[in-house]
Structure 1
Amino acid sequence: MTIPSPALACGIDFGTSNSAVGWKRPGHAPLLPLEDGKPTMPSAIFFHDEDAAVSYGRAALADYLAGYDGRLMRSMKNLLGSSLIDGHTEIRGRGVPFRALLTHFIAQLRLRAQEAAGREFTSAVFGRPAYFVDGDAAADQLAQDTLGEIAAAVGFTHVEFQYEPLAAAFDYESQISREELVLVIDIGGGTSDFSLIRLGPGRAAMPDRRADILAHGGVHIGGGDFDRQLSLHSFMPLLGLGRQLRSGKDVPSTQYFNLASWHTINFAYTNKAWEHLSYIHANAAERDKIELLLHLVKERAGHWLALQVEKAKIELSEAASTCADLGRIAGGLALDLTRADLERATAPLIDRIENTVAALLRDADVAAQGIDTVFFTGGSSRISRLRERISALLPHARSVEGDLFGSIGAGLALDAARKFG
């Protein structure tokens, strides 16, 4: 009997929040261990100021939270398709191109995958969202081209791309025994992507699946957007957002918006931003709240606050209430939150996601009762109200939760085996 050989190529899920690498091997789980035996690694880098050390993933977040001096970068995927990709940021006193930071992280993904697999990978299928950029085909293509250039720069000589919800669909297909019409709902860190696809054991080996795809789309809303809205709605008012200057004008909101988004937090630490905050403090009607903001920025605790927001969002996806400990900003400071707070903050985002799914079904000319299964993946697909709205839209479909952080990587591994052997 011939024993199947391991695939020649890997699948890379470079995610906004977490990343994974999949490799199809007979008798083994598809995801390779990237950090401490775990199959996913947070998409984060921490550059230490005191030496040349660089840490990645959970270690990067741990070093930052431990109080080491340095620069934390997270949600770097959001730079693809934005004007920032060709810009620079300051690390250890010098300007470093944002493009170089993405190259640095993806090179580390390849290195760790090769160490875990015990072999070199020169071919890969990279996941990509339905749209890196909404409503701008040229910018969207430029984002994919940029990712392809980075992949080549780190050593991949052959690169293909696959839509992330389709990769998740391939992972689900490997687990079913009959044909189904499946709507894949992938709510990632930066985008929400949807695919309506026919799946089944008899279709899995087909090299060209285009005829099975009835509809495909997405919207640039992800977990980071849910975090940002919860931060602006519930956390930032504690620091003065929505308050007034002595002149009667509203406190300027720029710094609050910077602190509410992972990839712009560091903008709040520039000398220009500090001068702006000092002006706001001098002219604020309620200086005590602005003093909390000044302390947060002085301590460079913006990423810490973003982690507290993210933690609260995750907890409110499972529980009716939670309490965020904000003692790092001021002793004894805490914020009580309910699921209703999360739902109010994120209602416009969920409306857009529901409307996008409804439009996708209309475009495919598929009735709701024709959908067999809704397959959820991506960490923010756990949000209760989101699932309730999708279930109301498709009341006859059964809901299946995949590996929220691993389905895409596993599906990309299957696709890499099909494409490269």
Structure 2
Amino acid sequence: MFIGFDYGTASCSVATMQGNTPQMVPLEGDNYFIPSTLCAPTRESVSEYLYRFFNVSPTDKLGEQLLRSAIAANRHEGMELEHDDLIFGQAALERYLDDPEYVYYIKSPKSFLGANGLRDLQIRFFEDLVCSMMVNIKQKAESHLEQQVTQTVIGRPVNFQGLGGEQANQQAESILKNAAKRAGFVDIAFQFEPVAAGLDYESQLTEDKTVLVVDIGGGTTDCSLMRMGPSYRTQTNRKDSLLSHSGYRVGGNDLDIYLAFERVMPSLGRGSKMLNGIYMPQVQFWNPIAINNVAAQTDFYMASNLKVLEQLKSEAENPELIDRLLTVHEQTLGYQIVRHAEETKIAMSNQEKFSSILNLGGQTLETKIDQSQLEAAISNPVAKIVELIRSTLEQASEKPDVIYVTGGSARSPILRSQIEKELPGVPIVSGDFFGSVTAGLARYAQQVFS
């Protein structure tokens, strides 16, 4: 049996086909979408758990080395893993929020797969991380469908997050493919996420159209200009109907990060001065919330940076603000800050003003924001998304008849307004903001594996 598998930055989902209709599969209770999160007692617990409880073995000597090191580290800490020590989705987030200082928590591992400078052991660890999430999802899907799933089409962005160009894309796709094989999938194919979203929209068309698909995901935004409709629907290879596409590592997570940087981090000292009149270094306020950047997170949370922060506090005009930043370091609270910003962004989708309270290590910080402040805060990533649209259109010799927007952040009225300004008079339509990619992947899987 086959599934379409959207291994997303913000959430994961799968779908199969019932006749000619995609059918989403519940993965977390009755929910079709499971947050792309994982929580474990320690970082090393992931690899040992995958081997011990999911019965997934390493496939090479480096993987075996990683597993041995993980087991040794856990035994050194006196840790014996239990069956419920590795948890996923909403439950993982809740455990992290309950005890952020003493667990290993990761959100959106897809964001790291194309990162530059990853050593071989780091690549094997990310493979273990992705594989454990895939095993969990595969088991839940098989339990619901009551049959084994061995074939999958996995969605991928045009460009993964990473500065290495095609080499970064190959690295990321290789991690996904190896993880999927180890998770138990036998036949594995990939499809660009915006193309998949377009295939789902195409099923509704009664005449051929040129469609600009704008897929604003959690970690990347992808744009594809495609010819689609009844004349193209049965084609397995859509290369000739794909006129142009582009993608970049900017998405919903970036909107959240920039919003946190502009509206929350000033309460932690961003923009304040030292006693000598020099502004506090910006990097110390960016790194803790740059949750899609491995190097930034490592730099902020390393032990040596604690001394730097303590020195900044001693030289600060407002040491109480830097004391909050120290709390973020000590309790690993960067994810909580970004989550707070995400909740604010979502609330602002349908209201002009919003006020919320952030609990930060026992302190309460109030955030107030209106639409103009939100627009200013996220202007940088919004501009990058608009530039992607321009780039896609410049590659092609024609303009779209319609714009199809999808992805969670496509609900943003600010983004939709910017797209309308870029292409005035071209109608904008949307389907299932979260499920269109998954449905398109299932449709493509039916063509590939039937």
TM-score by length of 2: 0.84
CA distance in 2 between partners of 1:384 and 1:400 (Å): 13
SS of 1:259 mapped into structure 2: helix
| Larger displacement relative to structure 2 (254-263 or 125-134) | 254-263
Equivalent of 1:115 in 127, 143, 148: 143
Q: What is the correspondence of 1:318-329 to structure 2 with a 5 Å cutoff?
A: 318-329=350-361
SS of 2:378 mapped into structure 1: helix
CA distance in 2 between partners of 1:30 and 1:134 (Å): 36
SS of 2:349 mapped into structure 1: helix
CA distance in 2 between partners of 1:85 and 1:32 (Å): 34
Matched, 1:14 2:14: no
**Which residue does the alignment assign to 1:351?**
383
Change (3 A) 1:406 1:416: same
CA distance in 2 between partners of 1:272 and 1:311 (Å): 32
Q: How many residues align?
A: 406
Structure 2 letter corresponding to 1:315: A
Unaligned runs of 5+ in 2: 43-78
CA distance in 1 between partners of 2:297 and 2:243 (Å): 42
Change (3 A) 1:136 1:157: same
Q: Is the 8 A contact 1:187 1:378 kept in 2?
A: yes
CA distance in 2 between partners of 1:208 and 1:400 (Å): 25
Q: Is the 8 A contact 1:134 1:220 kept in 2?
A: no
Matched, 1:191 2:211: no
CA distance in 2 between partners of 1:406 and 1:330 (Å): 38
Q: What is the correspondence of 1:123-142 to structure 2 with a 5 Å cutoff?
A: 123-132=151-160, 133=162, 136-142=165-171
Q: What is the correspondence of 1:212-361 to structure 2 with a 5 Å cutoff?
A: 212-263=241-292, 264=294, 267=298, 268-329=300-361, 331-361=363-393
SS of 1:23 mapped into structure 2: strand
- How much has 1:223 moved relative to structure 2? 0.8
Q: Is the 8 A contact 2:114 2:164 kept in 1?
A: no
Where do 4+ consecutive residues of structure 1 move more than 6 Å?
A: none
Q: Is the 8 A contact 1:322 1:337 kept in 2?
A: yes
| Larger displacement relative to structure 2 (208-217 or 50-59) | 50-59
Change (3 A) 1:332 1:124: closer
Q: Is the 8 A contact 1:194 1:357 kept in 2?
A: yes
Structure 2 letter corresponding to 1:101: L
- How much has 1:390 moved relative to structure 2? 1.0
CA distance in 1 between partners of 2:351 and 2:138 (Å): 37
**Which residue does the alignment assign to 1:180?**
209
Structure 2 letter corresponding to 1:18: S
**Which residue does the alignment assign to 2:127?**
99
Q: Is the 8 A contact 2:349 2:412 kept in 1?
A: yes
**Which residue does the alignment assign to 1:412?**
441
Q: Sequence identity, in percent?
A: 30
Q: Is the 8 A contact 2:127 2:176 kept in 1?
A: no
SS of 1:362 mapped into structure 2: helix
- How much has 1:200 moved relative to structure 2? 1.4
SS of 2:447 mapped into structure 1: helix
- How much has 1:329 moved relative to structure 2? 4.5
**Which residue does the alignment assign to 2:71?**
none
Q: What is the correspondence of 1:159-178 to structure 2 with a 5 Å cutoff?
A: 159-178=188-207
Q: Is the 8 A contact 1:197 1:214 kept in 2?
A: yes
Change (3 A) 1:67 1:87: farther
Q: Is the 8 A contact 2:289 2:335 kept in 1?
A: no
Q: Is the 8 A contact 1:191 1:219 kept in 2?
A: yes
Structure 1 letter corresponding to 2:32: P
Structure 2 letter corresponding to 1:130: V
CA distance in 2 between partners of 1:186 and 1:134 (Å): 20
Change (3 A) 1:234 1:355: same
Change (3 A) 1:258 1:99: farther
Structure 1 letter corresponding to 2:159: Y
CA distance in 1 between partners of 2:2 and 2:195 (Å): 18
- How much has 1:114 moved relative to structure 2? 1.7
Q: Is the 8 A contact 2:12 2:34 kept in 1?
A: yes
- How much has 1:28 moved relative to structure 2? 6.3
CA distance in 2 between partners of 1:328 and 1:146 (Å): 35
- How much has 1:121 moved relative to structure 2? 1.8
SS of 2:437 mapped into structure 1: helix
- How much has 1:319 moved relative to structure 2? 1.6
CA distance in 2 between partners of 1:360 and 1:384 (Å): 22
SS of 1:126 mapped into structure 2: strand
Change (3 A) 1:150 1:86: farther
Q: CA RMSD in A?
A: 2.3
SS of 1:168 mapped into structure 2: helix
CA distance in 2 between partners of 1:273 and 1:412 (Å): 44
Q: Is the 8 A contact 2:288 2:301 kept in 1?
A: no
